[in-house]
Structure 1
Amino acid sequence: MIDPTNQEEADQVLNAVFTPIDHTSVVDSIVSQIETLILNGILRDGGRLPSERDLAEQMGVSRPKVREALKLLEENDLILARHGEGTFVAPLVGSAMSPALIALYARHQDAFNSYLEFRIEQESFAANLAATRATKADKEILTRVMEDLEAAHLADDSQASQDADIRFHSAIIDASHNSLLVHTMSSIYALTRQNLFYNRSFLRSIDGTGQQLLAQHREIFEAIKAGNPERAATAARDHIEFVQRSYVEEQSRAQRDQVASQRLALL
Protein backbone atom coordinates (compact mmCIF):
# COMPACT_ATOMS: atom_id res chain seq x y z
CA MET A 1 0.00 0.00 0.00
CA ILE A 2 1.44 3.34 -1.05
CA ASP A 3 1.06 6.27 1.30
CA PRO A 4 0.54 9.36 -0.89
CA THR A 5 1.52 11.61 2.02
CA ASN A 6 5.10 10.31 2.03
CA GLN A 7 6.29 11.21 -1.46
CA GLU A 8 9.89 9.99 -1.10
CA GLU A 9 8.73 6.60 0.11
CA ALA A 10 6.06 6.48 -2.57
CA ASP A 11 8.59 7.26 -5.32
CA GLN A 12 10.86 4.46 -4.15
CA VAL A 13 8.05 1.91 -4.02
CA LEU A 14 6.68 2.93 -7.40
CA ASN A 15 10.02 2.08 -9.02
CA ALA A 16 9.19 -1.57 -8.38
CA VAL A 17 5.54 -1.75 -9.48
CA PHE A 18 5.78 -0.92 -13.19
CA THR A 19 6.99 -3.64 -15.56
CA PRO A 20 8.19 -3.67 -19.18
CA ILE A 21 5.49 -3.70 -21.86
CA ASP A 22 5.56 -6.59 -24.31
CA HIS A 23 2.03 -6.55 -25.73
CA THR A 24 0.95 -5.76 -29.28
CA SER A 25 -0.85 -2.53 -28.46
CA VAL A 26 1.61 -0.48 -26.47
CA VAL A 27 -0.79 2.31 -25.46
CA ASP A 28 -3.54 -0.12 -24.46
CA SER A 29 -1.02 -2.12 -22.43
CA ILE A 30 0.18 0.96 -20.57
CA VAL A 31 -3.41 1.96 -19.83
CA SER A 32 -4.27 -1.57 -18.71
CA GLN A 33 -1.29 -1.78 -16.36
CA ILE A 34 -2.06 1.52 -14.65
CA GLU A 35 -5.78 0.69 -14.45
CA THR A 36 -4.93 -2.62 -12.79
CA LEU A 37 -2.70 -0.89 -10.24
CA ILE A 38 -5.56 1.49 -9.41
CA LEU A 39 -8.13 -1.31 -9.30
CA ASN A 40 -5.99 -3.37 -6.92
CA GLY A 41 -5.46 -0.41 -4.61
CA ILE A 42 -1.71 -0.18 -5.24
CA LEU A 43 -2.18 3.29 -6.70
CA ARG A 44 -4.71 5.14 -4.54
CA ASP A 45 -6.61 8.39 -4.55
CA GLY A 46 -4.20 11.31 -4.62
CA GLY A 47 -1.11 9.17 -5.25
CA ARG A 48 1.39 10.68 -7.67
CA LEU A 49 2.55 8.73 -10.70
CA PRO A 50 6.18 8.77 -11.82
CA SER A 51 7.15 11.22 -14.55
CA GLU A 52 6.64 10.35 -18.22
CA ARG A 53 10.35 9.70 -18.55
CA ASP A 54 10.44 7.36 -15.56
CA LEU A 55 7.34 5.49 -16.72
CA ALA A 56 8.81 5.08 -20.20
CA GLU A 57 12.06 3.72 -18.76
CA GLN A 58 10.36 1.33 -16.34
CA MET A 59 7.97 -0.01 -18.98
CA GLY A 60 10.48 -0.05 -21.81
CA VAL A 61 8.36 2.10 -24.14
CA SER A 62 8.64 5.54 -25.74
CA ARG A 63 7.59 8.74 -23.97
CA PRO A 64 5.02 9.60 -26.72
CA LYS A 65 3.28 6.27 -26.04
CA VAL A 66 3.23 7.00 -22.32
CA ARG A 67 1.88 10.49 -23.00
CA GLU A 68 -0.88 9.05 -25.17
CA ALA A 69 -1.82 6.48 -22.53
CA LEU A 70 -1.92 9.11 -19.79
CA LYS A 71 -4.18 11.24 -21.95
CA LEU A 72 -6.63 8.34 -22.30
CA LEU A 73 -6.55 7.73 -18.56
CA GLU A 74 -7.23 11.41 -17.94
CA GLU A 75 -10.14 11.38 -20.40
CA ASN A 76 -11.56 8.44 -18.42
CA ASP A 77 -11.27 10.51 -15.21
CA LEU A 78 -8.83 8.07 -13.63
CA ILE A 79 -5.91 10.48 -13.34
CA LEU A 80 -5.39 14.23 -13.04
CA ALA A 81 -2.53 16.24 -14.56
CA ARG A 82 -1.58 19.28 -12.48
CA HIS A 83 0.63 21.79 -14.23
CA GLY A 84 4.01 22.02 -12.54
CA GLU A 85 3.16 19.30 -10.02
CA GLY A 86 2.77 16.04 -11.92
CA THR A 87 0.14 13.40 -12.60
CA PHE A 88 -2.03 12.02 -9.80
CA VAL A 89 -4.65 9.34 -9.31
CA ALA A 90 -8.05 11.04 -9.36
CA PRO A 91 -10.35 11.00 -6.32
CA LEU A 92 -12.21 7.81 -7.19
CA VAL A 93 -13.74 6.55 -3.96
CA GLY A 94 -14.60 9.93 -2.50
CA SER A 95 -16.26 10.40 0.84
CA ALA A 96 -18.32 7.57 2.25
CA MET A 97 -20.72 10.18 3.62
CA SER A 98 -21.56 13.80 2.99
CA PRO A 99 -20.35 16.39 5.53
CA ALA A 100 -23.93 16.82 6.73
CA LEU A 101 -24.35 13.09 7.36
CA ILE A 102 -20.98 12.92 9.13
CA ALA A 103 -22.11 15.74 11.43
CA LEU A 104 -25.39 13.89 12.05
CA TYR A 105 -23.53 10.71 12.98
CA ALA A 106 -21.25 12.67 15.29
CA ARG A 107 -24.32 13.95 17.17
CA HIS A 108 -25.88 10.48 17.46
CA GLN A 109 -23.34 8.04 18.85
CA ASP A 110 -25.70 5.08 18.37
CA ALA A 111 -24.40 5.20 14.80
CA PHE A 112 -21.18 3.68 16.13
CA ASN A 113 -23.05 0.40 16.55
CA SER A 114 -24.05 0.40 12.88
CA TYR A 115 -20.44 1.08 11.97
CA LEU A 116 -19.26 -1.90 14.02
CA GLU A 117 -21.97 -4.18 12.62
CA PHE A 118 -20.75 -3.34 9.13
CA ARG A 119 -17.12 -3.94 10.06
CA ILE A 120 -17.88 -7.28 11.73
CA GLU A 121 -19.18 -8.75 8.48
CA GLN A 122 -16.73 -7.12 6.08
CA GLU A 123 -13.59 -7.75 8.11
CA SER A 124 -14.53 -11.31 8.98
CA PHE A 125 -14.98 -11.95 5.25
CA ALA A 126 -11.71 -10.16 4.45
CA ALA A 127 -9.75 -12.15 7.06
CA ASN A 128 -11.13 -15.37 5.60
CA LEU A 129 -9.97 -14.37 2.13
CA ALA A 130 -6.62 -13.09 3.39
CA ALA A 131 -5.84 -16.40 5.07
CA THR A 132 -6.40 -18.10 1.72
CA ARG A 133 -4.91 -15.52 -0.64
CA ALA A 134 -2.18 -13.66 1.26
CA THR A 135 1.13 -13.74 -0.56
CA LYS A 136 4.59 -13.76 0.98
CA ALA A 137 4.71 -9.97 0.55
CA ASP A 138 1.27 -9.55 2.19
CA LYS A 139 2.43 -11.55 5.20
CA GLU A 140 5.61 -9.49 5.43
CA ILE A 141 3.52 -6.30 5.49
CA LEU A 142 1.28 -7.75 8.22
CA THR A 143 4.35 -8.84 10.20
CA ARG A 144 5.82 -5.34 10.13
CA VAL A 145 2.52 -3.71 11.13
CA MET A 146 2.04 -6.25 13.93
CA GLU A 147 5.50 -5.32 15.20
CA ASP A 148 4.48 -1.65 15.11
CA LEU A 149 1.33 -2.46 17.10
CA GLU A 150 3.35 -4.24 19.76
CA ALA A 151 5.95 -1.45 19.93
CA ALA A 152 3.25 1.21 20.30
CA HIS A 153 1.59 -0.86 23.02
CA LEU A 154 4.82 -1.22 24.97
CA ALA A 155 5.51 2.51 24.62
CA ASP A 156 1.95 3.32 25.69
CA ASP A 157 1.79 5.63 22.66
CA SER A 158 -1.89 6.25 21.92
CA GLN A 159 -1.39 8.00 18.59
CA ALA A 160 1.04 5.36 17.30
CA SER A 161 -1.34 2.64 18.48
CA GLN A 162 -4.22 4.21 16.58
CA ASP A 163 -2.17 4.53 13.41
CA ALA A 164 -0.87 0.95 13.63
CA ASP A 165 -4.37 -0.35 14.41
CA ILE A 166 -5.84 1.17 11.24
CA ARG A 167 -2.86 0.05 9.15
CA PHE A 168 -3.26 -3.49 10.52
CA HIS A 169 -6.88 -3.76 9.46
CA SER A 170 -6.12 -2.08 6.13
CA ALA A 171 -3.34 -4.60 5.47
CA ILE A 172 -5.79 -7.45 6.00
CA ILE A 173 -8.22 -5.88 3.53
CA ASP A 174 -5.36 -5.52 1.01
CA ALA A 175 -4.36 -9.16 1.58
CA SER A 176 -7.90 -10.27 0.67
CA HIS A 177 -7.13 -9.26 -2.93
CA ASN A 178 -10.77 -8.30 -3.41
CA SER A 179 -10.71 -4.94 -5.19
CA LEU A 180 -14.23 -3.95 -4.07
CA LEU A 181 -13.33 -4.57 -0.44
CA VAL A 182 -10.09 -2.61 -0.86
CA HIS A 183 -11.82 0.52 -2.15
CA THR A 184 -14.94 0.29 0.04
CA MET A 185 -13.01 -0.18 3.26
CA SER A 186 -10.51 2.50 2.29
CA SER A 187 -13.38 4.97 2.48
CA ILE A 188 -14.53 3.55 5.81
CA TYR A 189 -11.04 3.78 7.30
CA ALA A 190 -10.83 7.38 6.10
CA LEU A 191 -13.70 8.10 8.51
CA THR A 192 -11.89 6.18 11.21
CA ARG A 193 -8.78 8.33 10.73
CA GLN A 194 -10.95 11.41 11.24
CA ASN A 195 -11.85 10.02 14.68
CA LEU A 196 -15.54 9.98 13.81
CA PHE A 197 -15.80 6.30 14.76
CA TYR A 198 -12.64 5.84 16.75
CA ASN A 199 -11.66 6.67 20.29
CA ARG A 200 -8.37 5.07 21.25
CA SER A 201 -8.73 6.10 24.88
CA PHE A 202 -12.02 4.23 25.04
CA LEU A 203 -10.53 1.14 23.42
CA ARG A 204 -7.60 1.12 25.82
CA SER A 205 -10.03 1.47 28.75
CA ILE A 206 -11.91 -1.67 27.69
CA ASP A 207 -9.44 -3.95 29.44
CA GLY A 208 -7.42 -1.41 31.36
CA THR A 209 -4.13 -2.01 29.55
CA GLY A 210 -5.08 -2.77 25.96
CA GLN A 211 -3.55 -6.24 26.40
CA GLN A 212 -6.71 -8.04 25.24
CA LEU A 213 -6.90 -5.90 22.11
CA LEU A 214 -3.28 -6.66 21.30
CA ALA A 215 -3.86 -10.39 21.84
CA GLN A 216 -6.89 -10.26 19.53
CA HIS A 217 -4.86 -8.60 16.79
CA ARG A 218 -2.14 -11.20 17.19
CA GLU A 219 -4.68 -14.02 16.91
CA ILE A 220 -5.97 -12.60 13.62
CA PHE A 221 -2.39 -12.19 12.40
CA GLU A 222 -1.35 -15.72 13.36
CA ALA A 223 -4.43 -17.24 11.72
CA ILE A 224 -3.76 -15.45 8.44
CA LYS A 225 -0.07 -16.30 8.59
CA ALA A 226 -0.97 -19.97 9.16
CA GLY A 227 -3.39 -19.92 6.23
CA ASN A 228 -6.40 -20.90 8.35
CA PRO A 229 -9.45 -19.04 6.92
CA GLU A 230 -11.99 -20.28 9.49
CA ARG A 231 -9.75 -19.32 12.41
CA ALA A 232 -8.98 -15.94 10.83
CA ALA A 233 -12.64 -15.13 10.20
CA THR A 234 -13.59 -16.12 13.74
CA ALA A 235 -10.74 -14.09 15.25
CA ALA A 236 -11.72 -10.99 13.27
CA ARG A 237 -15.37 -11.36 14.24
CA ASP A 238 -14.52 -11.96 17.91
CA HIS A 239 -12.28 -8.88 17.98
CA ILE A 240 -14.85 -6.41 16.70
CA GLU A 241 -17.71 -8.02 18.64
CA PHE A 242 -15.58 -7.53 21.76
CA VAL A 243 -15.27 -3.84 20.95
CA GLN A 244 -19.01 -3.67 20.24
CA ARG A 245 -19.98 -5.32 23.53
CA SER A 246 -17.58 -3.15 25.47
CA TYR A 247 -18.93 -0.01 23.83
CA VAL A 248 -22.52 -0.94 24.77
CA GLU A 249 -21.44 -1.69 28.34
CA GLU A 250 -19.61 1.63 28.57
CA GLN A 251 -22.67 3.50 27.29
CA SER A 252 -24.85 1.79 29.89
CA ARG A 253 -22.37 2.59 32.66
CA ALA A 254 -22.26 6.25 31.59
CA GLN A 255 -26.06 6.44 31.65
CA ARG A 256 -26.17 4.89 35.14
CA ASP A 257 -23.59 7.40 36.34
CA GLN A 258 -25.67 10.24 34.96
CA VAL A 259 -28.88 9.03 36.62
CA ALA A 260 -27.12 8.45 39.95
CA SER A 261 -25.54 11.91 39.80
CA GLN A 262 -28.95 13.48 39.18
CA ARG A 263 -30.36 11.68 42.20
CA LEU A 264 -27.45 12.81 44.32
CA ALA A 265 -27.99 16.42 43.24
CA LEU A 266 -31.53 16.29 44.67
CA LEU A 267 -30.40 15.29 48.16
Structure 2
Amino acid sequence: MQGKGQGKGMIKPAKLADAIADHLETLIREGVLRPGEKLLPERDLALKLDVSRPSLRDALEKLEERGLLVSGRNGTHIAQFLAPIAAPLAALLQSDPDAPFHYLEFRTSIEAAAAKLAAQRATDLDRQAIRALAQRMRDAHGKDDPSEEADVDAQLHLAFYEAAHNTVMLHIMGALSEMLRNDVFYNRDRLYTRPGVRDLLLEQHLAIVDAVLAGDAEAAHAAAEAHVMFTLHTLREIREDDTRLEASLRRIGRTDLIETAERA
Protein backbone atom coordinates (compact mmCIF):
# COMPACT_ATOMS: atom_id res chain seq x y z
CA MET A 1 0.00 0.00 0.00
CA GLN A 2 1.37 3.40 -0.93
CA GLY A 3 1.94 5.93 1.83
CA LYS A 4 0.71 9.47 1.89
CA GLY A 5 2.42 11.62 -0.69
CA GLN A 6 3.73 8.60 -2.60
CA GLY A 7 1.05 8.41 -5.25
CA LYS A 8 2.11 7.30 -8.69
CA GLY A 9 1.19 10.62 -10.30
CA MET A 10 2.82 12.84 -7.71
CA ILE A 11 4.92 15.68 -9.19
CA LYS A 12 8.09 16.32 -7.24
CA PRO A 13 9.22 19.94 -6.91
CA ALA A 14 12.38 20.76 -8.83
CA LYS A 15 15.52 21.11 -6.74
CA LEU A 16 16.88 24.64 -6.51
CA ALA A 17 20.20 23.47 -7.93
CA ASP A 18 18.43 22.14 -11.03
CA ALA A 19 16.60 25.45 -11.48
CA ILE A 20 19.87 27.38 -11.18
CA ALA A 21 21.60 25.04 -13.64
CA ASP A 22 18.73 25.39 -16.12
CA HIS A 23 18.86 29.19 -15.82
CA LEU A 24 22.61 29.34 -16.45
CA GLU A 25 22.31 26.84 -19.30
CA THR A 26 19.71 29.09 -20.93
CA LEU A 27 22.09 32.06 -20.64
CA ILE A 28 24.84 30.01 -22.31
CA ARG A 29 22.52 28.75 -25.05
CA GLU A 30 21.28 32.28 -25.81
CA GLY A 31 24.80 33.68 -25.94
CA VAL A 32 24.40 35.86 -22.86
CA LEU A 33 27.28 33.94 -21.30
CA ARG A 34 29.91 33.29 -23.97
CA PRO A 35 32.59 30.61 -24.31
CA GLY A 36 35.77 31.57 -22.50
CA GLU A 37 34.13 34.11 -20.21
CA LYS A 38 34.82 33.85 -16.47
CA LEU A 39 31.93 33.69 -14.02
CA LEU A 40 31.87 35.77 -10.88
CA PRO A 41 33.39 34.16 -7.78
CA GLU A 42 30.97 31.75 -6.10
CA ARG A 43 30.06 34.12 -3.28
CA ASP A 44 29.36 37.07 -5.61
CA LEU A 45 27.45 34.91 -8.10
CA ALA A 46 25.27 33.47 -5.32
CA LEU A 47 24.42 36.99 -4.17
CA LYS A 48 23.71 38.09 -7.74
CA LEU A 49 21.34 35.16 -8.31
CA ASP A 50 19.94 35.41 -4.77
CA VAL A 51 20.58 31.73 -4.02
CA SER A 52 22.53 29.80 -1.42
CA ARG A 53 26.15 28.93 -2.09
CA PRO A 54 25.61 25.15 -1.63
CA SER A 55 22.77 25.18 -4.22
CA LEU A 56 24.88 27.24 -6.61
CA ARG A 57 27.83 24.90 -6.11
CA ASP A 58 25.64 21.91 -6.97
CA ALA A 59 24.35 23.71 -10.08
CA LEU A 60 27.86 24.55 -11.27
CA GLU A 61 28.92 20.93 -10.81
CA LYS A 62 25.96 19.80 -12.94
CA LEU A 63 26.93 22.20 -15.73
CA GLU A 64 30.54 21.08 -15.52
CA GLU A 65 29.39 17.47 -15.93
CA ARG A 66 27.45 18.56 -19.05
CA GLY A 67 30.60 20.09 -20.51
CA LEU A 68 29.32 23.65 -20.33
CA LEU A 69 31.62 24.93 -17.57
CA VAL A 70 35.28 24.42 -16.74
CA SER A 71 36.53 24.97 -13.19
CA GLY A 72 40.11 25.38 -12.08
CA ARG A 73 42.49 27.42 -9.95
CA ASN A 74 41.63 30.51 -11.98
CA GLY A 75 37.92 30.19 -11.32
CA THR A 76 34.99 28.93 -13.37
CA HIS A 77 34.75 29.68 -17.08
CA ILE A 78 32.19 29.02 -19.77
CA ALA A 79 33.56 26.03 -21.68
CA GLN A 80 34.80 26.36 -25.24
CA PHE A 81 32.34 23.57 -26.03
CA LEU A 82 32.79 23.83 -29.80
CA ALA A 83 36.59 23.65 -29.53
CA PRO A 84 36.71 19.87 -30.21
CA ILE A 85 35.27 20.69 -33.64
CA ALA A 86 36.68 24.17 -34.24
CA ALA A 87 40.33 23.52 -33.35
CA PRO A 88 40.98 20.64 -35.80
CA LEU A 89 38.86 22.41 -38.42
CA ALA A 90 40.99 25.55 -38.08
CA ALA A 91 44.18 23.50 -38.48
CA LEU A 92 42.72 21.76 -41.51
CA LEU A 93 41.60 24.98 -43.19
CA GLN A 94 44.86 26.83 -42.62
CA SER A 95 46.57 24.45 -45.03
CA ASP A 96 43.96 25.07 -47.75
CA PRO A 97 44.73 28.15 -49.88
CA ASP A 98 41.14 28.26 -51.09
CA ALA A 99 39.63 28.17 -47.58
CA PRO A 100 39.04 31.96 -47.45
CA PHE A 101 36.89 31.79 -50.58
CA HIS A 102 34.99 28.70 -49.46
CA TYR A 103 34.35 30.37 -46.10
CA LEU A 104 33.02 33.55 -47.70
CA GLU A 105 30.86 31.61 -50.16
CA PHE A 106 29.30 29.90 -47.13
CA ARG A 107 29.01 33.18 -45.24
CA THR A 108 27.23 34.89 -48.13
CA SER A 109 24.05 32.94 -47.55
CA ILE A 110 24.34 32.76 -43.75
CA GLU A 111 25.09 36.45 -43.31
CA ALA A 112 22.19 37.45 -45.55
CA ALA A 113 19.83 35.15 -43.65
CA ALA A 114 21.07 36.49 -40.30
CA ALA A 115 20.53 40.10 -41.35
CA LYS A 116 17.04 39.28 -42.63
CA LEU A 117 16.10 37.52 -39.39
CA ALA A 118 17.60 40.36 -37.35
CA ALA A 119 15.42 42.87 -39.21
CA GLN A 120 12.38 40.73 -38.43
CA ARG A 121 13.17 39.69 -34.85
CA ALA A 122 15.39 42.32 -33.23
CA THR A 123 14.17 43.63 -29.89
CA ASP A 124 14.61 47.22 -28.74
CA LEU A 125 17.66 46.10 -26.73
CA ASP A 126 19.12 44.38 -29.81
CA ARG A 127 18.66 47.54 -31.85
CA GLN A 128 20.23 49.62 -29.09
CA ALA A 129 23.32 47.38 -29.09
CA ILE A 130 23.57 47.55 -32.90
CA ARG A 131 23.30 51.36 -32.86
CA ALA A 132 26.07 51.59 -30.26
CA LEU A 133 28.39 49.35 -32.30
CA ALA A 134 27.66 51.32 -35.47
CA GLN A 135 28.68 54.52 -33.66
CA ARG A 136 31.85 52.86 -32.38
CA MET A 137 32.64 51.83 -35.94
CA ARG A 138 32.17 55.40 -37.18
CA ASP A 139 34.46 56.69 -34.41
CA ALA A 140 37.13 54.07 -35.14
CA HIS A 141 36.96 54.82 -38.86
CA GLY A 142 38.58 58.21 -38.26
CA LYS A 143 41.71 56.64 -36.77
CA ASP A 144 44.79 55.78 -38.82
CA ASP A 145 45.09 52.28 -37.34
CA PRO A 146 42.25 50.10 -38.70
CA SER A 147 42.59 47.38 -36.03
CA GLU A 148 39.90 48.83 -33.75
CA GLU A 149 37.47 49.19 -36.63
CA ALA A 150 38.18 45.60 -37.71
CA ASP A 151 37.47 44.42 -34.16
CA VAL A 152 34.17 46.32 -34.04
CA ASP A 153 33.37 44.80 -37.44
CA ALA A 154 33.46 41.31 -35.87
CA GLN A 155 31.39 42.48 -32.89
CA LEU A 156 28.78 44.02 -35.17
CA HIS A 157 28.30 40.81 -37.12
CA LEU A 158 27.95 38.92 -33.83
CA ALA A 159 25.27 41.43 -32.81
CA PHE A 160 23.38 40.60 -36.02
CA TYR A 161 23.52 36.89 -35.14
CA GLU A 162 22.24 37.65 -31.65
CA ALA A 163 19.43 39.80 -33.02
CA ALA A 164 18.45 36.96 -35.36
CA HIS A 165 17.51 34.92 -32.26
CA ASN A 166 18.63 31.64 -33.82
CA THR A 167 20.79 29.76 -31.33
CA VAL A 168 22.32 27.36 -33.89
CA MET A 169 23.37 30.25 -36.10
CA LEU A 170 24.69 32.16 -33.09
CA HIS A 171 26.99 29.42 -31.83
CA ILE A 172 28.23 28.12 -35.19
CA MET A 173 28.96 31.59 -36.56
CA GLY A 174 30.40 32.64 -33.20
CA ALA A 175 32.96 29.84 -33.47
CA LEU A 176 33.78 30.79 -37.06
CA SER A 177 34.03 34.43 -36.03
CA GLU A 178 36.69 33.48 -33.49
CA MET A 179 38.66 31.80 -36.29
CA LEU A 180 38.32 35.00 -38.31
CA ARG A 181 39.71 37.07 -35.42
CA ASN A 182 42.72 34.73 -35.36
CA ASP A 183 43.28 35.19 -39.12
CA VAL A 184 42.53 31.54 -39.88
CA PHE A 185 40.70 32.50 -43.09
CA TYR A 186 42.48 35.69 -44.10
CA ASN A 187 44.41 38.64 -42.72
CA ARG A 188 41.87 41.33 -41.90
CA ASP A 189 44.55 44.03 -41.72
CA ARG A 190 45.37 43.47 -45.39
CA LEU A 191 41.71 43.82 -46.25
CA TYR A 192 41.30 47.04 -44.28
CA THR A 193 44.51 48.64 -45.53
CA ARG A 194 43.79 48.05 -49.22
CA PRO A 195 43.26 51.48 -50.84
CA GLY A 196 39.60 52.51 -50.91
CA VAL A 197 38.32 49.36 -49.22
CA ARG A 198 37.96 50.72 -45.70
CA ASP A 199 35.52 53.44 -46.74
CA LEU A 200 33.44 50.97 -48.73
CA LEU A 201 33.32 48.48 -45.83
CA LEU A 202 32.02 51.19 -43.51
CA GLU A 203 29.37 52.17 -46.05
CA GLN A 204 28.30 48.54 -46.43
CA HIS A 205 28.14 47.89 -42.68
CA LEU A 206 26.03 50.99 -42.12
CA ALA A 207 23.68 49.93 -44.92
CA ILE A 208 23.06 46.63 -43.11
CA VAL A 209 22.59 48.49 -39.82
CA ASP A 210 20.07 50.92 -41.34
CA ALA A 211 18.04 48.10 -42.89
CA VAL A 212 17.99 46.04 -39.69
CA LEU A 213 17.01 49.03 -37.56
CA ALA A 214 14.27 49.93 -40.04
CA GLY A 215 12.93 46.37 -39.95
CA ASP A 216 13.38 46.08 -43.71
CA ALA A 217 14.15 42.36 -44.06
CA GLU A 218 14.69 42.31 -47.83
CA ALA A 219 17.00 45.33 -47.77
CA ALA A 220 18.97 43.81 -44.89
CA HIS A 221 19.32 40.53 -46.80
CA ALA A 222 20.52 42.32 -49.95
CA ALA A 223 22.95 44.59 -48.08
CA ALA A 224 24.54 41.71 -46.15
CA GLU A 225 24.85 39.58 -49.27
CA ALA A 226 26.47 42.43 -51.20
CA HIS A 227 28.88 43.09 -48.33
CA VAL A 228 30.17 39.52 -48.14
CA MET A 229 30.41 39.24 -51.93
CA PHE A 230 32.46 42.45 -51.99
CA THR A 231 34.80 40.99 -49.37
CA LEU A 232 35.12 37.80 -51.42
CA HIS A 233 35.94 39.67 -54.62
CA THR A 234 38.43 41.94 -52.83
CA LEU A 235 40.27 38.97 -51.35
CA ARG A 236 40.45 37.40 -54.80
CA GLU A 237 42.01 40.62 -56.09
CA ILE A 238 44.53 40.57 -53.23
CA ARG A 239 45.40 36.94 -54.03
CA GLU A 240 45.85 37.75 -57.72
CA ASP A 241 48.05 40.77 -56.91
CA ASP A 242 50.19 38.61 -54.63
CA THR A 243 50.55 35.96 -57.33
CA ARG A 244 51.68 38.53 -59.89
CA LEU A 245 54.11 40.11 -57.41
CA GLU A 246 55.63 36.72 -56.58
CA ALA A 247 56.09 36.01 -60.29
CA SER A 248 57.83 39.38 -60.75
CA LEU A 249 60.13 38.72 -57.81
CA ARG A 250 61.05 35.33 -59.25
CA ARG A 251 61.99 37.00 -62.55
CA ILE A 252 64.16 39.51 -60.73
CA GLY A 253 65.90 36.73 -58.85
CA ARG A 254 66.38 34.47 -61.87
CA THR A 255 69.98 35.64 -62.33
CA ASP A 256 70.87 33.92 -59.06
CA LEU A 257 70.13 30.60 -60.73
CA ILE A 258 71.87 30.90 -64.09
CA GLU A 259 75.30 31.69 -65.41
CA THR A 260 75.33 35.11 -67.08
CA ALA A 261 77.85 36.61 -69.47
CA GLU A 262 79.35 38.63 -66.60
CA ARG A 263 80.02 35.43 -64.65
CA ALA A 264 81.38 33.49 -67.59
- TM tier, smaller: 0.7 to 0.9
Return the letter of the residue paired with 1:250.
Answer: I
CA RMSD of aligned residues (A): 2.5
Cα distance in structure 2, aligned partners of 1:254 and 1:79: 44
Cα distance in structure 1, aligned partners of 2:109 and 2:221: 9
Partner of 2:259: none
Tell me how far 1:219 sits from its aligned partner.
0.2
| Partner SS for 1:41 | coil
Cα distance in structure 2, aligned partners of 1:57 and 1:257: 61
Tell me how far 1:57 sits from its aligned partner.
2.6
User: 1:75-121 CA distances to partner (integer Å, 9 max, x unpaired)?
Assistant: 222222224x322222212165445x545533442211001011111
| Partner SS for 2:142 | helix
The reply on whether 1:63 has 2:53 as its aligned counterpart is yes
Partner of 1:233: 221
Question: Match for 1:113 among 93, 101, 120?
Answer: 101
Partner of 1:146: 134
Tell me how far 1:156 sits from its aligned partner.
2.2
Q: Which moved more, 1:197-206 or 1:187-196?
A: 197-206
Given that 1:153 and 1:161 are in contact with CA atoms closer than 8 Å, whether structure 2 keeps it comes out as yes
Where structure 1 has 5 or more consecutive residues not aligned to the other structure, the ranges are 1-22
The reply on whether 1:91 has 2:69 as its aligned counterpart is no
| Partner SS for 2:196 | coil
Return the letter of the residue paired with 1:204.
Answer: Y
Tell me how far 1:261 sits from its aligned partner.
6.2
The reply on whether 1:165 has 2:153 as its aligned counterpart is yes
Question: Match for 1:220 among 187, 190, 208?
Answer: 208
Question: Match for 2:190 among 202, 215, 228?
Answer: 202
Q: Taking structure 1 as reference, are residues 254 and 86 closer, same or farther at Cα in structure 2, changes over 3 Å only?
A: closer
| Partner SS for 2:83 | coil
User: 1:137-173 CA distances to partner (integer Å, 9 max, x unpaired)?
Assistant: 2112111211221122111222112211111111111
Q: How does 1:41-80 map to 2 (within 5 A)?
A: 41-80=31-70
Tell me how far 1:205 sits from its aligned partner.
4.9
Return the letter of the residue paired with 1:193.
Answer: R
| Partner SS for 2:82 | coil
Partner of 2:16: 26
Given that 2:115 and 2:160 are in contact with CA atoms closer than 8 Å, whether structure 1 keeps it comes out as yes
Tell me how far 1:264 sits from its aligned partner.
7.5
Greater C-alpha radius of gyration: 2
Partner of 1:9: none
Partner of 1:128: 116
Cα distance in structure 1, aligned partners of 2:80 and 2:197: 39
Q: Percent identity?
A: 36
Return the letter of the residue paired with 2:50.
Answer: G
| Partner SS for 1:77 | coil
